[in-house]
Structure 1
Amino acid sequence: MKTSTSDLLVTAVAPIIWGSTYIVTTDFLPGFPPMAVAMLRALPAGLLLLLIVRQLPAGIWWLRTFTLGALNVSIFLSMLFISAYRLPGGVAATVAAVQPLLVVFLAYFVLASPVRGAAVVAALLGAAGVALLVLTAGARLDPVGIVAGLAAAGSMACGTVLSRKWQPPVSLLTFTAWQLTAGGLLLVPVVYILEPAMPVPTISHLLALAWLGLVGMALTYVLWLRGVVRLDPSVVSPLLLLSPVTAVLLGWWFLDQTLTGLQIAGGLLVVGSIWLGQR
């Protein structure tokens, strides 16, 4: 499959924006239950898009929509926020960096895509680059956070491959609306039964949730699914490594965090691994 530079650039916008999740969650939504944040991020965005497209799934697409909604949204986001709240951003990002490697092997079993040596090497180099970029000597390793991070990576990897396999006869906007709504609805009973009450939201909380939902979900999922449909999974998945790079740059820019030589080397290694993955 020929890789389009424009498709790559458009798809890369999604993980770059997702890189803001850590700083927005920890700095603007402290004390919010993680699954409640996941629900508030997905469901309002999905319902808004559903009002725009005014089209519901039919037949087998009900089951497929809720399966993809669970993998790409409810399981992925809830595990991601549990990981983000329980681990330093660097550790959480490093755990999530195994996702491109998972996609390479899942695509082999589900899509019969060949396992290319360059793709495996690129995934390993990318994970190493993320570790250099974000890990610190005093990084705290919480077992629950580690398991949640791995679950998030595995869930999104499965969702990416299945989204490639199942391509509905509707627009990407409609496909996104279905998945976000389904994923958000699946989280409602979990939040209601298992999670404590949320703090009374302030203006800053609402703005943070609007960013995470409208921009970080509604917009970016359209762009991401567009890339999943047009590009090979082994080409798309390395772009996710741009998220930790963005997270570190945002911390450097807004929180006056310093960048060491190892971090700069790690960032360059991540960029190099993405380039190798496209080859």
Structure 2
Amino acid sequence: MQKIFFCLLLVATGFTLNAQNVVRDANAQVRNVGNFTKIDISSAINLYLSQGSTQGVAVSSTDPDAIGKIKTEVRNGVLRIFVQNGAWNGWNWSNKHLKAYITFTTLESLNVSGACNVEITDPVKVDDLKLELSGASNLYGTIKGNNIKFELSGASNAKANFTAASFDLSQTGASNFKGTINSGKTSLDMSGASVTDINGTATDLIVDASGASNFKGGDLTAENCRIEATGASSASINVNKAIQATASGGSSIRYSGAANITNLDVSGGSTVKKKS
């Protein structure tokens, strides 16, 4: 059945988004929307994201009037969830407890902004996925995929686990990432006092830390690594085979593992040292 469907339970305790996912929220309101493969959510809404054989959408608030101000629409395959323009005026939205529940079948992109929280309730599987998290938003969960690109900015935070053939993480604006990755080709770029605390495995790893950023990768085991730390940044890595390292502007790189340094460029009071 291609259309969205929901089975409402005749109890006040919950409803089902589809055959796999049951939501326990007496305030939830089901929304019928068109097919989507992309999600854009904003306006300080807490999103609970899951995967299933059929898609479904619902929204919730402790204030019945607030539920009607949460808009859900699909345009060109993009599901947008937001608070309507002007609705914030005269409202104390901090105590409205705005929530959205989304079950997707296929997901190509997820754009989260404006102090939203996203909780991926169970591990999900995707093909190619672009994630964007900005404006003090937060992400929690586990994602498995082929090619995953993740942009994290504006004091946003992610505590997440990724398994992918290739993984590309870009952090700016004092953002924070903590989690596990298991990937082949891996690129990690952080700037503007961002922090990356990561473990897992990577075949070919590229790290670029700048602007007083901190890369904590001592528990991430890479086969090969090209790393650059600039502008008073710090980095720790664990590499088995080969390291190419560049450090400048008072930065430091600490490495462990059996790898040999095949290329080294150090300047401006920086250091590259093997952990004892």
From the CA coordinates, give the structure whose radius of gyration is larger. 2
The structure richer in strand per residue is 2
TM score, norm. by length of structure 1 = 0.20
TM score, norm. by length of structure 2 = 0.20
